[in-house]
A and B are shown apart, each in its own frame.
Chain A
């Protein structure tokens, strides 16, 4: 299999994930057709719609066939139609995706530089008050429920100070200022956990690297501390960060679900939540699938980039 072998693994993972989604939505006892119909099950045309659903998803046929239909649907990117609005799920996903993507990207843009700076400088000034406070704050940032902080921020900035809007979303190209003022609090909220985690990570990696012998030798040779830090240390400590970020994207998406709910952002998270609460299964299934597939693809990318920068690693 050669060089492609590690990527085959990802195919299997994708397949397992897709199957898990299939299985979990059929865990509910009862008639799946009724479930797929959702709460609109009382209407006049119910029996026709039930029949439609049964045919569409093959619910009368053996589970293997259902699975086959499911897989072929996915491959053709047909995610079905929403129960409530009759709009195709893929359309809903496409509309909501940019919001979530921009939320996550902005959060990463905010969190990564801050974490790198804090982590590196704290490791440099080991055991001094600066270091301890950075580490404590990072741990707290990681430990705090982000939505709680978010609400506190809303409370403070929006309601008390009236500086920023408490919720809602404006498209970037419609009104850039409005866009940023609406995104600011959500982005900070989401970034908080990431800042905490990444700062701790950069700190430990850098502290470890700084203790290595080759650094001591460099110092002895007279190379300035700053140069050591940025040339040798940063490179070594930050490359693994790519992997961590890849992993944390998943966590971020989870956080995004909550943040979107709190701040009323019409992203994938909100779409998903409303679908769950409204028992709109096709949307739930479609959204979860889309998100997970993207996360996996991002992880593949992260691993690829990491291997590029560090060809000798045994990933």
Chain B
């Protein structure tokens, strides 16, 4: 059995907006619990505003949580600024969406790659250069790129450099926060296959956040579906795609095109109607009820709990019965 690396227990993240004197609370994450295992790729999907980025940041301690607990390898996350905190930062890395602003434009690639190595004292001064070059090699980039500046590279190359930088600290877990969303389709595929390669070679867990179901299906072992800050469904990748239980998951999968034109044309589409509600004023009971085609009275009043439906598959919907 794989061990649990990250144990996230009932976390909530609230943002307070100062709005001309009135303060409004937005619940970006509402009572979310999940676990990340060793050497797995964990996918998080949802629309914009579902809270997936916030969850990614909160998981590794970069976003302060309003309530709940997070444990990394059974130890609670340390407070920021302490020595333990710096040590923890080595183990948990994150890569962001925009490759063009993720690297300091005034430093060479080599310097940017060396930064995590130097910060965490991972090797002697003499070895830094060779480490940097080996990192570049790992992500399929030429060693002469180390002397150049970020403005010389394309989005895809920059993202590879960011991956290399995340690997430099030899982390246990890397959060990939929509790292492919700013890239074109063919580059996306390259990045995905690079990640898969790297995972095979190293003992690494990945959390892959995206709004693109197709990509997530390709890379993830387990998937979490979020809606307006809450977990809607969670389970292994195969089961979710073959037998989605939550109406939202069903709609998402239904909406994502299949690369076989004949099958695609034959599908009956049931598009999601309505729009995502205002996060400052979410619907009562089940958040999804305003767009659900299976809604009934209970959904208005009572928030559904996350219940296990099958082995490893959890859904929060009144229409599914727990086992």
Contacts and interface: CB of A to CB of B under 8 A. Distances in A.
Interface of A: 1-3, 5
B18 to A, nearest CB: 9
Q: Chain B contact residues (Cβ within 8 angstroms of A): what range?
A: under 10
Interface of B: 20-21
B68 to A, nearest CB: 32
Contacts of B20: 2-3
Nearest to A5: B21
Nearest to B21: A2
Contacts of B21: 1-3, 5
Contacts of A2: 20-21
Nearest to B18: A5
A2 B22 CA distance: 8
A222 to B, nearest CB: 36
A1 B20 CA distance: 9
Nearest to A4: B21
A5 B20 CA distance: 9
A2 B21 CA distance: 4
A3 B21 CA distance: 7
A1 B21 CA distance: 6
Nearest to A1: B21
Nearest to B22: A2
A310 to B, nearest CB: 16
A3 B19 CA distance: 10
B19 to A, nearest CB: 10
Contacts of A5: 21
Contacts of A1: 21
B51 to A, nearest CB: 26
A164 to B, nearest CB: 53
A302 B268 CA distance: 61
A89 to B, nearest CB: 41
6 contacts: A1-B21, A2-B20, A2-B21, A3-B20, A3-B21, A5-B21
A314 to B, nearest CB: 12
A5 B21 CA distance: 9
Nearest to A2: B21
A44 B121 CA distance: 79
A313 to B, nearest CB: 14
A2 B20 CA distance: 5
A212 B285 CA distance: 46
A108 to B, nearest CB: 33
Contacts of A3: 20-21
A267 B21 CA distance: 44
A304 B21 CA distance: 18
B290 to A, nearest CB: 29
A1 B23 CA distance: 11
A6 to B, nearest CB: 11
A3 B20 CA distance: 6
A5 to B, nearest CB: 8
B103 to A, nearest CB: 29
A60 B123 CA distance: 67
A262 B20 CA distance: 49
A267 to B, nearest CB: 42
B66 to A, nearest CB: 24
6 A-B pairs closest in CB distance: A2-B21, A3-B20, A3-B21, A2-B20, A1-B21, A5-B21
A26 B75 CA distance: 59
A3 B22 CA distance: 10
B128 to A, nearest CB: 43
A180 B222 CA distance: 84
A189 to B, nearest CB: 45
B288 to A, nearest CB: 33
B187 to A, nearest CB: 28
A1 B18 CA distance: 11
B88 to A, nearest CB: 36
